[in-house]
Structure 1
Amino acid sequence: MPDQRSHRSTPENPREFRTLVDRPQAREELALALARLWSDGGPPEAIVCIGTDRATGDALGPLTGSFLLQNPTRELVVHGTLDVPVHATNLHDIIRSHPRLLKSRVLAVDASLGRPEEVGLITAGLGAIRPGAGVNKELPALGRYYVTGTVNIGGFMDYYVLQNTRLALVMRMAHTIAEAILLSLRL
């Protein structure tokens, strides 16, 4: 069973925050961590939620984007929803039609795969992420800030693993991430 504590930082990246989705305070802790990130460089100008609804595990991004648009507390620029996902096939087109995404304060949200004890872990930090890296895709790095959710175990047959990820976990993670983002923008 994963460690039930939240982690303020990691040795690899002291500006990174981690918490498990099932912690009672996960949403509030994540919101505070995001608000601290915004205090250094300003809140995100756009949120890019990466993934596809064609693989349960990879739907974390589009679900988060859809939840964000259902509960706006202010006008949010969100790319990547269940209706209009941002994924490996169209990411270059999205960047080409919105070139500011590479230069502005973007929060990138994506699913990740990890070790068994990391499943359910939500990680937020400063820096860009490489979408598709877990499944050996070569895509451009994106974001000044990032939030990732470890939805399943990686390392072997990653496409199969993403397609056979528990929807309940992905839904809980997407709700927690969306609510934390909205709360962080009000802090």
Structure 2
Amino acid sequence: MLHYSHYLDKNSVAYLSDAIIQHYASNPVYTEIVVVCIGTNRYSGDSLGPMVGSQLLAGMKGQRHIHVYGTLDNPVHALNIHKTIAHISQKHGRAYVIAVDACLGQFYKIGTLQVVEEPLQPGVSLDKKLPPIGHIHIKGIINNYGALNHKVLEHTSLTFVQEMSGVVSRILTRAVQQISSQLQAAELPGDNSSQATR
């Protein structure tokens, strides 16, 4: 199922976070939450995920059952996503995984945030075949899809992406705070870290 709202819509945070909360509630068997924010710090248009990751990491310190992968300092991208997925599978085997990414779309949809109740297929806009990730994902349409998608990513407004990342962060913060109170009490073997980042 797809839920969407423009990032400037004042109801977008409540509406899209509720969609994530309701999806989790349909099968609440997890002991942790992992948020994987995909992208790179090399292109403004592809920095939405790492910006969100950095904001979440700063706002969720000390919450030991919430783990964030993909920040501006340590992004998750095409070159390390296989390794990251393998690490998450090993360390967080019973985690509810939320993926975050930027994407390109039709011109009139720019600025739209989408919560999709299925794994994220990263790299589709750039014709990359990367492994799916997440139980659910949120993506922001940051620019127009066309023939020169790499150039589009390079020339997307950084201010626009920063504004959108702030809304995505608020959506995820609200959702994660609600979900964390419903997590199963079981501890994972070998999990003695307070928060994971990559």
- Residue among 107, 114, 121 paired with 1:123: 114
Query: Unpaired segments of 5 or more residues in structure 1?
Result: 1-14
Q: 3-state DSSP class of the match of 2:85?
A: helix
Q: 3-state DSSP class of the match of 1:173?
A: helix
How far does residue 104 in structure 1 lie from its aligned partner after superposition?
4.2
**Match status 1:77 vs 2:67:** yes
Q: For each residue in 1:101-142, what CA deviation from the matched residue of structure 2 results, as whole angstroms up to 9, or x when unmatched?
A: 787421110000000111000000211111111101111011
Matched pairs, number: 173
Q: Matches of 1:99 and 1:24 in 2, distance apart?
A: 36
Q: Matches of 2:47 and 2:71 in 1, distance apart?
A: 9
Contact 1:102 / 1:142 at 8 angstroms: preserved in 2?
no
Code of the aligned partner of 2:135: R
**Partner of residue 6, structure 2:** 20
Q: 3-state DSSP class of the match of 1:77?
A: strand
- Residue among 62, 81, 103 paired with 2:50: 62
- Residue among 14, 17, 22 paired with 1:31: 17
How far does residue 26 in structure 1 lie from its aligned partner after superposition?
1.6
Query: Unpaired segments of 5 or more residues in structure 2?
Result: 179-198
Contact 2:37 / 2:68 at 8 angstroms: preserved in 1?
yes
Sequence identity, in percent? Answer: 30
Contact 1:131 / 1:139 at 8 angstroms: preserved in 2?
yes
**Match status 1:176 vs 2:167:** yes
**Match status 1:142 vs 2:142:** no
**Partner of residue 77, structure 2:** 87
Q: What TM-score, normalized by structure 1, do the two folds share?
A: 0.86
**Partner of residue 159, structure 1:** 150
Q: Matches of 1:185 and 1:99 in 2, distance apart?
A: 20
How far does residue 173 in structure 1 lie from its aligned partner after superposition?
1.4
Contact 2:85 / 2:133 at 8 angstroms: preserved in 1?
no
Q: Matches of 2:112 and 2:72 in 1, distance apart?
A: 22
Structure 1 range deviating more: 23-32 or 105-114 = 23-32
Q: What TM-score, normalized by structure 2, do the two folds share?
A: 0.81
Q: For each residue in 1:9-37, what CA deviation from the matched residue of structure 2 results, as whole angstroms up to 9, or x when unmatched?
A: xxxxxx21100001122212222222111
Q: Matches of 1:20 and 1:35 in 2, distance apart?
A: 19
Contact 2:33 / 2:176 at 8 angstroms: preserved in 1?
no
Higher relative contact order (CA 8 A, sep 6+): 2
Q: Matches of 1:171 and 1:41 in 2, distance apart?
A: 33
